[in-house]
Amino acid sequence: MSLEKAKQVAAYRAVDEYVKGHCVFGVGSGSTVVYAVQRLAERVETENLKVICIPTSFQAKQLIIKYNLTLGELETHPNIDVTIDGADEVDSNMTLIKGGGGCLLQEKIVASCSKKMIVIADYTKDSKKLGDRYKKGIPIEVIPMAYVPIQNKVVGMFGGEIKLRSAIAKAGPVVTDNGNFILDWMFTNQDLDWEKTSTIIKLMPGVVEIGLFVKMCEKAYFGQAEGTVIERSV
Ligand SMILES: O=C[C@H](O)[C@H](O)[C@H](O)COP(=O)(O)O
């Protein structure tokens, strides 16, 4: 069975277990979330549900529009019932690395407004310690003028290597949906206290958000190669 099928089974299971009626729903970003939106759209249609969808990125907004779902925003719907989002890695404590697609800032804002944040992923994202599976590092969204001092501070304080994320179909850096840059920090110490590390990095002037999600996710669904789903809760 393909990786895509593994993403799909996780997404379908999460939507079926967490959307039980009319609700305000946070739409995460990335390739796995596409399946969650597909499933949500099917259910909205067949069960005549009223679901207001709050996007976590430009991509999520486009998905909501494509599937004819109702687009909402935090200004009018600041209390979200459940957000379903992908992740780049989930460790045994349910700490997440997110932002592989550069959407960490809006994802964290929406997750922080949600009663429940649920992760959907394929089996390659399931790890014991952060860094076991995802090798591209922890994304940090920064204000462009501050990227060099922040690189120096993070590596000086915690070690590892850090790189400005480069765009692929454009010369120069990736620019986020919020007009910022992304640094990818390849840490070497897998035993850092992620809550403290995240707080210290977030306090550096110029850091907008870090793609470490600590104590935010209630449950993760990992689609398996053979089509089953493994669940992990806090
Ligand atoms: O910035 C991107 C997001 O954090 C995604 O949710 C994450 O990268 C996982 O994406 P995918 O489902 O494509 O692996």
> Residue 19 contacts by C-beta under 8 Å, 6 or more apart in sequence?
25, 40, 43, 49, 51, 82
* Probe target for ligand 1 pocket from 57, 88, 136, 174, with the most ligand atoms within 8 Å of CB: 88
pLDDT in the model for residue 1: 62
pLDDT at position 34 is 98
Task: Please give the pLDDT value at position 139.
Answer: 98
For the chain, what's the residue count?
234
Annotated catalytic, 42? no
Where the chain has pLDDT below 50, the residues are none
What is the CA 222 to chain-centroid distance, rounded? 14
- State the average pLDDT for the chain: 97
At residue 124, the pLDDT reads 98
33-47 vs 3-18: helix axis angle to the nearest 10? 40
Q: What residue spans of the chain are helical by DSSP H?
A: 3-18, 33-47, 58-66, 104-112, 147-158, 194-202
Which pLDDT belongs to residue 234?
85
The predicted model scores a pTM of 0.97
Task: Output the CA 189–ligand 1 centroid distance in Å.
Answer: 23
54-72 tens-digit pLDDT: 999 999 999 999 999 999 9
* CA 88 to ligand 1 center in whole angstroms: 6
228 DSSP assignment: -
**Token couple for 126:** 């399931």
Both tokens assigned to 66: 């494509």
The radius of gyration of the chain from alpha carbons, rounded to an integer in Å, stands at: 17
Mutation to probe ligand 1, out of 27, 29, 58 (largest number of atoms < 8 A from CB): 29
* Separation in Å, CA 136 to CA 109, 187, 188, 219, 234: 23, 9, 12, 24, 25
The pLDDT, as a whole number, for residue 11 is 98
